[in-house]
Amino acid sequence: MKTHHLILGLVPALALAACGGNETTTANTTTTDNISAMDVPADANIADNMAMGDAALSPAQKFANDVGASDYYEIEAGKLAQEKAQAQGLKDFGKMMVEHHTASTDKLKAAGAKASPAITPNPALTTEQEANLAALRSADGAAFDAAYKTQQVAAHEKALAAVKDYAATGDVPELKKFAGDAEKIVQAHLKKIKSL
């Protein structure tokens, strides 16, 4: 199918090239290269893009992206817990995660909007977060409860370290305040999940 589309895309380019339209030929060569790049396994492209993207990001943008992704993961995992957990405590915790992390995302966006220049979170999940959600989707019963609790402890420990670090060393005052406020909430979440 890709070859068919590639051929259809090259026909106009070849016709224009015959008439001296070298610029279009160059543009199509780039398109052909991009199509070839899409044949690379998706995981390799994502990993490369994330590595290159993180290097170019400001610390404030990276923090906003990381917190946005953490919130998104917590919301999705919380929805699964409400649906699949056996223990009522985990169902209730999942509901709280959806509510609190939805509020956290709203506060993060508001803090980023007040920054100069404005910072908009890009909440792309990490490979680990994607794998964790996939594991939760495929688990049932006691296995789900165990996986959810284990993931939540680890995720909240990472989130706590991230907000503590940014609250202490961050360079955007609005996000530093957000991080300081979030620290107390994340600490409470961690204490709660460990007690279940």
Reported as a single tens digit per residue, the pLDDT across 148-169 is 999 999 999 999 999 999 999 9
Residue 29 has pLDDT above 70, yes or no: no
Residue 113 has pLDDT above 50, yes or no: yes
Residue 56 pLDDT class (50, 70, 90 cuts)? confident
Do residues 127 and 46 lie in contact, with contact meaning Cβ atoms separated by under 8 Å? yes
Stretch 111-125: mean pLDDT: 97
CA 5/CA 171 separation, integer angstroms: 48
What own/partner pairs with CB < 8 Å and gap ≥ 24 does 147-154 have?
A: 148/77, 148/80, 148/81, 148/85, 148/90, 148/94, 149/90, 149/193, 149/196, 151/77, 152/77, 152/93, 152/97, 152/189, 152/193, 153/190, 153/193, 153/194
Looking at every residue in the chain, the average pLDDT score rounds to 81
Greater pLDDT, 22 or 96: 96
Residue 173 has pLDDT above 60, yes or no: yes
Give the Å distances, CA to CA, from 116 to 55, 112, 172: 21, 8, 8
Query: In a 3-state reduction of DSSP, which class is residue 117?
Result: coil
pLDDT at 147: 98
> In degrees rounded to 5, what are phi and psi of residue 71?
-60, -45
The percent of residues above 90 in pLDDT, for the chain, comes to 71
The residue written with tokens 């993961």 in the block is 73
Q: Which residues contact 162 (CB under 8 A, 6 or more apart)?
A: 63, 66, 67, 70, 179
CA 92/CA 85 separation, integer angstroms: 9
pLDDT at 53: 54
pLDDT at 150: 98
Do residues 85 and 91 lie in contact, with contact meaning Cβ atoms separated by under 8 Å? yes
Residue 43 has pLDDT above 90, yes or no: no
pLDDT at 57: 93
Cis? peptide before 59, omega within 30° of 0 = no
Residue 118 pLDDT class (50, 70, 90 cuts)? very high
Stretch 28-55: mean pLDDT: 40
CA 64/CA 82 separation, integer angstroms: 27
